[in-house]
């Protein structure tokens, strides 16, 4: 389970909670412009945009969970089991493995508008990174400061949705989340008015009652609504420290506490890490479940013209 959000308050930010019951060997990874990105069916990019994000520690290819490139385009993959469907490669069109999607698009494209030119021909194909790492069932959120999309590879092919909320969680598919938001249009940050019956003297007895009915459980549908409500009603000064703090407060509201969600295997989902990237400056902020200090890695403090992955 995961939650991904965008946040625009003078600067544009992109990030997520990564909710799992174990680590996947994650480390902050910078892919410089000249590191060769070799794709299974889509050739190679010897020169591309630099990017930073959290990836599995592998020297041969950046297995990003999420990343932002030097042009401000950001993307994250979120768990989508039961609905994700990857096609068999047949040598036709633009065939990208699920683990390659983020690196391919962020390496190639400077904006969502530019990425859209490739999405109509893109096929997500069923290829494993290795025998020990089968394809993960994912859907993706792709965003810049102007537009946000959701990509879902299903049996009918790759579906692309415009996402006005700037939020994504997990199952069900995005179309459900978009419809479900209509069930909460009556929520407000202000004190509620009596709409129950004019002849009854009903009044609020505490602050915050305008948002009664805002879900607080850990399900993906509830996290979607809660994150969207807090994001769209967020108020913060237009400066970096306040924006980053506010971003993490929103993610904290939908984070997993160990013991609150038990998997079918009897393990516990936790928010392994939370992250926030300033898409303009390329600074990647993150914190982990056992260390709530926010750390920062600036991609521009490294050699972005290098040809070796940088792991921090």
Active-site residue set: 2
Number of H helices, E strands in the chain: 5, 18
Check if the beta carbon of residue 233 is closer than 8 Å to that of residue 189: yes
Other CB atoms within a 10 A radius of the CB of residue 199 amount to 5
Answer whether the bond into residue 215 is a cis peptide, omega within 30°. no
Give which of 67, 68, 160, 178 is closest to 120, Cα–Cα: 160
Check if the beta carbon of residue 142 is closer than 8 Å to that of residue 5: no
- At 144, which helix (H) or strand (E)? none
Other CB atoms within a 10 A radius of the CB of residue 196 amount to 9
**In the beta sheet, which residues pair with residue 284?**
277, 297
The Cα-based distances of 73 to 163, 166, 204, 298 in angstroms read 15, 14, 44, 16
Task: Label residue 278 exposed, middle or buried (CB < 10 Å: 0-12, 13-18, 19+).
Answer: buried
Give first-to-last CA distance, the chain, whole Å. 25
Give which of 79, 49, 52 is closest to 64, Cα–Cα: 52
Give which of 192, 77, 186 is closest to 138, Cα–Cα: 77
């Amino acid at each position: 389970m995961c939650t991904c959000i965008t946040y625009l308050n003078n600067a544009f930010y992109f990030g997520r909670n990564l909710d799992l019951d174990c680590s996947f060997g994650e480390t902050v990874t910078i892919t410089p412009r000249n590191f060769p990105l070799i794709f299974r069916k889509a050739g190679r990019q010897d020169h591309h945009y630099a990017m930073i994000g959290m990836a599995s520690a592998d020297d041969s290819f950046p297995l990003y969970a999420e990343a932002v490139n030097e042009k401000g385009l950001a993307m994250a993959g979120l768990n989508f089991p039961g609905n994700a469907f990857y096609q068999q490669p047949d040598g036709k069109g633009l065939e990208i493995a699920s683990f390659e999607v983020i690196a391919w698009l962020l390496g190639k494209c400077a904006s969502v508008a530019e990425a859209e030119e490739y999405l109509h021909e893109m096929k997500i194909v069923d290829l494993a990174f290795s025998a020990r790492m089968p394809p993960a069932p994912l859907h993706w959120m792709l965003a810049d400061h102007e537009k946000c999309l959701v990509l879902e590879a299903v049996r009918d092919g790759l579906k692309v949705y415009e996402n006005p909320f700037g939020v994504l969680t997990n199952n069900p598919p995005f179309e459900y989340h978009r419809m479900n938001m209509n069930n909460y249009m009556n929520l407000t940050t202000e004190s509620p008015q009596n709409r129950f019956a004019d002849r009854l003297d009903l009044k609020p007895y505490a602050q915050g009652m305008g948002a009664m009915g805002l879900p607080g459980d850990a399900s993906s549908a509830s996290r979607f609504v809660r994150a969207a409500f807090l994001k769209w009603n967020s108020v913060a000064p237009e400066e970096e420290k306040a924006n980053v703090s506010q971003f993490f407060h929103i993610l904290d509201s939908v984070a997993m506490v160990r013991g609150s969600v038990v998997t079918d295997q009897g393990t516990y989902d936790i928010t392994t890490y939370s992250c926030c990237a300033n898409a303009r400056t390329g600074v990647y902020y993150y914190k982990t479940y056992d260390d709530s200090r926010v750390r920062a890695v600036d991609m521009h403090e490294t050699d972005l013209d290098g040809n070796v992955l940088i792991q921090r």
